[in-house]
Amino acid sequence: MATNVYISPEPLSLDGVYQSVVDEACGGICLFVGTVRNHNKGKAVTHLDFETYDAMAVKEMEKIAAHCIETLGAKKVTMAHRSGRVGITEIAVIIAVSSVHRDVAFQACQYCIDTLKETVPIWKKEHWEDGSYWVGARP
């Protein structure tokens, strides 16, 4: 199967992820790049910390990628997520999908990021100048 999923404490390579899904038979490659923004809910964000249960997170990411190939018709899928401290404008997640036609690439890429955020055990702590909180942990 043409999937590649990983979690890294090091910066993610957009070109490396792109190259991992290039395929001569594919006419469509869709990329989603999630970066850290400097604000949320009216507060100035200084950085994020990501924690993960690596073994389970990778297993869940593999399921998502496999679904895109087996059910949606994607040719190759790469999902990469950062762990640890990630600064403003830095890349937190990259999803790349290649397929014969663009519509599948778009659909599968959206499925990957939406499902990752719902099911993969990756937790985000948002930091501000005057405090921090675990996103999703407070009402």
Task: Identify the pLDDT of residue 114.
Answer: 97
Closest CA to 5 of 103, 122, 124: 122
Region 101-111: what's the mean pLDDT? 98
Region 124-137: what's the mean pLDDT? 89
Burial of 127 (0-12, 13-18, 19+ CB in 10 A): middle
135 and 126 Cβ atoms separated by less than 8 Å: yes
Task: Identify the pLDDT of residue 21.
Answer: 98
Write down the CATH number for the domain with range 3-130: 3.90.1170.40
CA dist 107 and 63 (Å) reads: 16
- Write the DSSP string, 52-115: E-HHHHHHHHHHHHHHIIIII--SEEEEEEE-EEEETT-EEEEEEEEESSHHHHHHHHHHHHHH
Position 137 pLDDT exceeds 80: no
Question: Per residue in 72-81, pLDDT tens?
Answer: 999 999 999 9
Question: Per residue in 13-59, pLDDT tens?
Answer: 999 999 999 999 999 999 999 999 999 989 999 999 999 999 999 99
pTM score: 0.94
Say which residues have a Cβ less than 8 Å from residue 33's Cβ, sequence separation at least 6.
14, 91, 93, 94
CA dist 75 and 83 (Å) reads: 27
- In the three-class reduction of DSSP (H, G, I as helix; E, B as strand; rest coil), residue 121 is classed as coil
